[in-house]
Amino acid sequence: MLAEIKDFVKARNFLKTHFNDIILFIIVALLVMLAFSAGYIIAKEQSKTPIQISNFK
């Protein structure tokens, strides 16, 4: 029981000391995923055949 409490305190201290780094990592990871998904969506749209007008007067 005491060992579990010590592990919890160690984890809590780790989170307190590295909180800014963890938040920065999460933000960068989310931005990378957003950029990848945006590029994927744009690439799917560009691969469609364009509309061509055949009767032009």
pLDDT tens, residue by residue, 1-57:
778 888 888 989 999 999 999 999 999 999 999 999 999 999 888 877 777 778 766
Does residue 11 lie within any of the structural domains? no
Give the predicted TM-score (pTM) of the model. Answer: 0.65
Q: What is the per-residue pLDDT for 8?
A: 85
**How many separate helices (H) and strands (E) can be counted in the chain?**
2, 0
Residues spanned by the domain of 23: 19-44
Q: What is the per-residue pLDDT for 5?
A: 87
Neighbouring residues of 15: CB distance < 8 A, sequence distance ≥ 6: 22
Does residue 7 lie within any of the structural domains? no
Does residue 50 lie within any of the structural domains? no
Q: For residues 25 and 9, give the distance between their C-alpha atoms in angstroms, rounded to a whole number.
A: 23
Q: For residues 38 and 26, give the distance between their C-alpha atoms in angstroms, rounded to a whole number.
A: 18
Q: What is the per-residue pLDDT for 35?
A: 97
Q: What is the DSSP letter of 56?
A: -
| H/E element, 24 | helix 19-46
| Domain total in the chain | 1
